[in-house]
Structure 1
Amino acid sequence: MAVTIPENIRSSATAGERLFFRTLKTYLPDDYIVYYEPEIQGRRPDFVIIGPDLGVVVLEVKDYTKNTLFQINNDEWQIVSSSGQNAFVKSPMKQARDNMFHVVDALKKDKSLVQLDGKYKFQLKFPYGHGVVFTRLYSKDFVEHGMYSVIEPSLCLTRDEIDPDKEAFSEEVLMEKILNMFVVPFRLREPLSIEDINAIRYHLFPEVRISAEYKQPVPYQDQLLLSLHDIKTMDLHQENLAKQIGDKNRLIRGVAGSGKTIILASRAKMLSKQNPDWKILILCYNISLANSIQQMITHMLNEPEDLFDFDPNSKVVTNENIIVRNFHSWLKNDLRIKEHQLPTIIEKVGKKEAILPTYDAVLIDEGQDFEADWLRLVSSLINVNTQSLLLVEDRAQTIYNRKRSYLQDTGLSFQGRSKVLSINYRNTHQILTFAWDFYRKHSLFKNKVVKGDLDGEIIAPQSTKRKGPEPGIIKAKNFFEETKMIARQIMKLHEEKKVSYDEMLILYRVKKTYQTPIIDVIKKALTGTNLPFYWITENDVSKRSYEKEDGKIKISTIESSKGLDFRAVFIVNIDSMPFPLVENKEREVSLFYIGMTRAQEYLCLSYSGESEFTNYLDDIREERKQVKTGVEKAN
């Protein structure tokens, strides 16, 4: 079954379009992508099909009947409208062909998609074709009326070739015809790679870009072209969600690393673009995440539709109608309310005795950390005509005791208006498995873990796409030695694996203990090896001023790292977890899980003392040692 974008065809589509949509979805291979009415730089072809062994095919769909057509030629068709009036329209084949070349011109600008030598030099390195689908005309109609003299048989599909209910229908014939809809017929020697398909999607459909990764292009074309080999795109499931969330109140529940924040930011951009007069509010719990979302949206709004037509002199677009705040900053600075006043204010708003700003749309990240009164206040300030509220959460990352009933808290039902994201894309398989094994062993909620069931508490991550090294475990004699070892590991990653300093994060649980000034020792170890660093959680100012791409290693509490991710993460002083002064052990389990799942590729865990969590890590170190010894003996 092919992937279709959107997942379902719009209700106003013609009967013929709906039939063809179902047929493509059902009978094309699993690794084919079918776009219905995508907007490609100002044009909307009916269907675009991308396949690894196919290339790209652009199709137009027509519901013409024999009675509709009066006279046809290669360029122009005279048709009879339903009112009986004659009209001249562009030949649908010419229309499909023009749309195809529009697509080709957009893709040729990327050298990675172009033949650099040989017979087809400077042409796309994969086939591209076009065709027309006639949903109400049969092959015999074309023969009887001599239509094949104007329409090339290999470039059109008729009703009997697309309708599975017709006796003449054949899955093999459908595939064969689509595979041969090429003016310059050549088959791919090797299937298109995932990178090639992502590059095609990236250029044709800008909204699939992960805009947080976008960097302003350099002025030199070749350097820019080379940089496009590192394009990152959203997963198809995320892309569909960003487009298909729907209006009014919605809930997205997802595992760590499933792209929840990206979807939320994409949703905000889409709402802003569609409704420039709307006042849009984004809320989250921690300051550094609010800052990160602010930067992500600024990138998104300034990302050019076509990277190659980028104007370096263009004005920076600011998100004037999108407000991004952490909850307490919004409460204090925007509403000028103290938290203890919330019950009174909520009551006054309900009675229309208090005047507070209203918002046309509100989007909440890390919703599991919001208290009931926070949600009641926020939902009371949403425009009653739009009722646009998007809540995003992951209960495995809950670090506060919040009893959750969204219907009671917001007055809005999310029944049938929810989506589950169970696939983790951030972490490698090794990191995710390690983190999830820890969570399942230590969480009090392990018996409430579900797979995709909205009635459950915790969503189990289903799978991840990438492989990598096992998380490293370092046990040192004391914390001073521990930080020196971490500094050496950082230097090694930077020199041998080319991991930039600003893609590394050091996480700590507490700033200092009665025995050790944790932060001071970390800073001293980094300074002693001339490693640049930025302490995100030094104070509120440092949290708001944090910029990821500043060439510096970041230092943060685990709590403030929620929503962030880095290529390499070092969690130090794990012997302080679970923190003895915290009664709620479940919070400590969630924090450690959150910390581990910040790592995209490399994770290193270090300690020099003893605790429940380090005992668990000791057991893993011993298991690894035994496995290694067994392998060495076997060899």
Structure 2
Amino acid sequence: MFGRYAEHMPVCIPEDPDFAESRAEKAVWDALVEQLPDSAVLLHGQRLTDDRDDIELDLLVLWPGLGAAVLEVKGGRVGITDGRWHTDGGGRSSTLRRSPLEQAMVGKHTLYRYLQKRLSVVLTPLVDSAVLPYTILPDDWDVPDAPREKLLDGEDLPRLADRIAGLLRRAHDPDRDDPFVPLEPTLRILRRTHQALENVRLWARQIEDSGNAMTVEQEKLLRILRHQQRAQISGGAGTGKTHLALMKARALVREGRKVALMCYSRGLGRYLQLAVAQWPEEERPAYTGLFHDLAFAWGAEPGADDDSDFWEERLPRELKSLADDRPRRELFDAIVIDEAQDFSSLWWEAVQSVLRNQVKDTLYAFTDEQQRLFPRDGTAPITMSPFQLDENLRNSAQIAEVLGHLSTDQAIVRNDPAFDVEWIESPADDAVATADEVVERLMDEGWNPGDIALLTTGRRHPVHKEHVDEYGWDDYWEQCFAEEDVFYGHVLGFKGLERPAVVLSVNGIRDAARAPKMLYTGMSRATTRLVVVGDLERIRDLGRDARAEG
């Protein structure tokens, strides 16, 4: 065993990492497992993705009382010649695009931003270091942007934990860093993030490998539209618009375009980020996320969540102004927008402003008028008629049949039957409590908690409100995609997302004019099992109203 911590063993996540592609990472991992105290946590391959970066940390050490260290591990014999970093190994030499320390530093800053948005207190100090287990650095090493104390080489391996502890102690600021920040909140966030990424990776693989109607038909449509610079693709719930939006954005990047992939809803925006993170770096859009967050990425100051004028008017105008002032090379030449029916006319002006050529550059909008839930009037600046998707590829036959009674467009149902839709009578004031009982029953029947969503149409569920108030929106959506437990949400925020089982609590709808669309959107989030709780006579009336409008 190495070092003075040999009698202990840290918490290892995962317990048995796969080091098939990196003997260097295994060598560093083994050394730290033997040297770190049992109070520390050692993580391998931690992924982080946001609207600015998508990275993977080779190794991350969380050390109670000392802080956290991001370690970039580089195998082979690493050196620097004429300012260019390179690595030699296996008889080959290759130039590194970025220095190992720069990679570690980017990882450190991304981790800090990520945790700062989700935690009230971040474990600090946070340091970065590069570990070169098969390199022996010369005694006279003196590189201005690569200080020797942050480079840990093969001779440091037997005392690696001591070296990391020294870095953390030197970085400690007694006026800023709290040595007693608990690890549990940080671990909860990182584990949840890892699980969310894994789940999205499985969903993507299922779509790509299935060879089902969705993949075949949508790839055919993309080929038909490949020469169209601007197109609007419309379709009802379950027609696969989000999958098609992702495919189009990726295809545009492969063509060499600078692409922005946008939407309005927080949950859908996070899903798009997680999905894009599965692709090779060179195939990812330059920006993926919320329409409003692009303004923040370009320097706009945040506003209050309850300031509707800020979000509806002032921030979109500021985005347009920011775009007008930016060099043209920093703008986009292709934009893909999912759930584009959410965008107002003012927002479309801002969207066009972030294109290098506002008239000719590529713009694809994916819409569903049946899910136009917000009181905004806006039309995509696309002159041609929409291309219509008319096959429901996601919902079971029974759920799709119910949706047909709330929709002006009849979809062709492609899925098999599953469970009959269940209707439970309940006054609006009691609908949430009754829905809670249904959730308990579904779990007793064998449904996994992570497969269930309880959605409300009126006030938020207490669990929904408490989670957002305590942990914030970012953590709220992270736990949604981690699928650790029942998800409690609102129909307005769950647009574009799905769960195998949905309990829809019709506990009031503020705007009666949009009630049929609210029900349509909520019911369509279920792929297999749907339970509707509320005033059933009122729900039937709304269905008749929707059909009459058609």
Query: Normalised by the shorter chain, which TM-score bucket?
Result: 0.5 to 0.7
Q: Deviations over 1:121-147 (max 9, x none)?
A: xxxxxxxxxxxxxxxxxxxxxxxxxxx
- The CA deviation at 1:322 is 3.3
Question: Given the superposition, is the C-alpha separation of residues 347 and 481 from structure 1 closer, same or farther in structure 2, using an over 3 Å criterion?
Answer: closer
Inter-partner Cα distance in structure 2 for 1:292 and 1:422: 24
Q: 1:556 aligns with which of 480, 484, 489?
A: 489
The reply on whether 1:284 has 2:263 as its aligned counterpart is yes
Q: What is the rounded CA distance, in whole Å, between the counterparts of 2:210 and 2:250 in structure 1?
A: 24
Partner SS state of residue 383, structure 1: coil
The answer for the alignment partner of 1:597 in structure 2 is: 524
Name 2:349's counterpart in structure 1. 376
Task: Say if 2:249 and 2:285, in contact at 8 Å, map to a contact too.
Answer: no
CA distance in 2, matches of 1:284, 1:376: 15
1:429-448 alignment to 2 at 5 Å?
Answer: 429-437=397-405, 439=406
* Residues 374/423 of structure 1: CA separation in 2 closer, same or farther (3 Å cut): same
Give the 3 Å change call, closer, same or farther, for CA 353–262 of structure 1 in structure 2.
closer
Would you say 1:268 and 2:249 are equivalent positions? Answer: yes
Counterparts of 1:320 and 1:480, CA distance in 2: 40
Residues 20-66 of structure 1, C-alpha deviations (whole Å, 9 max, x = no match): xxxxxxxxxxxxxxxxxxxxxxxxxxxxxxxxxxxxxxxxxxxxxxx
How many angstroms does 1:509 deviate by? 2.2
Q: 1:542 Cα shift?
A: 2.8
Answer yes or no: is the 8 Å Cα contact 1:365–1:391 preserved in 2.
yes
Which of the numbers 463, 487, 499 marks the counterpart of 2:439? 487
SS of equivalent to 1:465: coil
1:519 partnered with 2:462: yes
After superposition, the Cα gap between the structure-2 partners of 1:537 and 1:240, relative to the gap in structure 1 and judged at 3 Å, is: farther
Shift of 1:589: 1.9
Compare CA radii of gyration and give the structure with the larger one.
1
Paired amino acid for 2:475: S
Counterpart amino acid of 2:236?
V
Q: 1:394 aligns with which of 344, 354, 368?
A: 368
Counterparts in 2 of 1:327 and 1:521: CA distance versus 1, 3 Å = closer
Matches within 5 A, 1:132-143: none
1:326 maps onto 2:290 in alignment: yes
Instruction: For structure 2, list consecutive stretches of 5 or more residues without a partner in the other structure.
Output: 1-199, 302-309, 544-550
Distance 2:221 2:213 in 1: 14
Q: Structure 1 unaligned runs (5+)?
A: 1-209, 217-226, 303-316, 441-448, 450-458, 513-517, 524-533, 618-635
Q: Which residue of 2 aligns with 1:427?
A: 395
Residue type of the alignment partner of 2:271: S
- Kept after mapping to 2: 8 A contact 1:212/1:296: no
**1:291–1:543 contact (8 Å) kept in structure 2:** no
Distance in 1, Cα, partners of 2:340 & 2:490: 20
1 CA distance for matches of 2:292 and 2:464?
Answer: 31
Deviation at 1:359, TM superposition (A): 0.5
1:427–1:597: 8 Å Cα contact kept in structure 2?
yes
Deviations 1:240-277 (A, max 9, x none): 123332241111011111000001101112222332xx
Secondary structure in 1 aligned to 2:412? coil
Distance 2:203 2:464 in 1: 32
Matches within 5 A, 1:64-463: 213-214=203-204, 234-247=214-227, 248-275=229-256, 278-299=257-278, 301=279, 317=281, 321-334=285-298, 336=300, 339=311, 340-341=313-314, 357-384=330-357, 387-406=361-380, 410=381, 412-415=382-385, 418-437=386-405, 439=406, 449=408, 459-463=409-413
Amino acid at match of 1:500: N
The 3-state SS of whatever aligns with 2:289 is strand
Q: Is the 8 A contact 1:483 1:521 kept in 2?
A: no
1:287, 1:326 within 8 Å by CA — same for their partners in 2? yes
How many angstroms apart in 2 are the aligned matches of 1:228 and 1:280?
Answer: 22
Deviation at 1:292, TM superposition (A): 0.7
Q: Which structure ranks higher in relative contact order (CA pairs < 8 Å, sequence separation ≥ 6)?
A: 2
Q: Counterpart in 2 of 1:585?
A: 512
- The residue matched to 1:473 in structure 2 has which SS? strand
1: CA distance, partners of 2:383 / 2:483: 43
**1:435 CA displacement:** 2.4
Q: How far, CA to CA, are the matches of 2:473 and 2:464 in structure 1?
A: 22
Query: Does residue 509 of the first structure (1) align with residue 457 of the second (2)?
Result: yes
1:45 is aligned to none
Q: Could you say which residue in structure 1 is the equivalent of 2:448?
A: 500
**Match of 1:454?**
none
Would you say the 8 A contact 1:279–1:360 is kept in 2?
yes
Which residue matches 1:465?
415
Is the aligned partner of 1:612 residue 2:535?
no
Aligned residues: 330
Structure 1 letter corresponding to 2:363: L
Conserved 8 A contact 2:455-2:488: yes
| 8 Å CA contact 1:537, 1:557 repeated in 2 | no
* Equivalence for 1:474: 424
The 8 Å contact of residues 570 and 605 in structure 1, kept in 2 or not, is answered as: yes
Cα deviation for residue 616 of structure 1 reads 7.0
Q: Distance in 1 between matches of 2:320 and 2:247?
A: 33
CA shift at 1:335, angstroms? 5.4
Q: Write out per-residue CA displacement over residues 406-441 of structure 1, whole angstroms, 9 at most, x where no aligned residue.
A: 3xxx3x4224xx42101111111211111221x25x
Structure 2: how far apart are the matches of 1:614 and 1:544?
32
Question: What are the Cα deviations for residues 61-97 of structure 1, in whole angstroms up to 9, with x where unaligned?
Answer: xxxxxxxxxxxxxxxxxxxxxxxxxxxxxxxxxxxxx
Work out whether residues 285 and 366 of structure 1, in 8 Å CA contact, stay in contact via their aligned partners in 2: yes
Matched-pair contact (CA < 8 Å) for 1:535–1:554: no
Measure, in 2, the Cα distance between the counterparts of 1:435 and 1:241.
24
Q: Distance in 2 between matches of 1:521 and 1:376?
A: 34
Cα distance, 1:520–1:465 mapped onto 2, change above 3 Å: closer
Give the direction of change, closer, same or farther, for the CA distance of 1:353–1:521 in structure 2 (3 Å limit).
closer
Counterpart Cα distance in 1 of 2:479 and 2:489: 11
SS at match of 2:395: strand
Aligned mates of 1:536, 1:521 — CA distance in 2: 9
C-alpha separation in 1, matches of 2:269 and 2:480: 12
**Alignment check: 8 A CA contact 2:233 2:366 kept:** yes
1:550 shift after superposition:
3.5
Could you tell me the TM-score, scaled by structure 2's length?
0.53
Q: CA RMSD in A?
A: 3.7
2:500 aligned residue (536, 554, 567)? 567
Paired residue type of 2:350:
L
Distance 1:537 1:510 in 2: 21
- Match of 1:213, SS state, is helix
Report if aligned partners of 1:536, 1:555 keep a CA contact under 8 Å in 2. no
1:246 is paired with a residue whose SS is coil
State the alpha-carbon separation in 2 of the partners of residues 267 and 510 from structure 1.
35
Tell me how far 1:476 sits from its aligned partner: 5.2
Seen in structure 2, the aligned counterparts of structure 1 residues 230 and 368 have a Cα distance that, compared at 3 Å, is closer
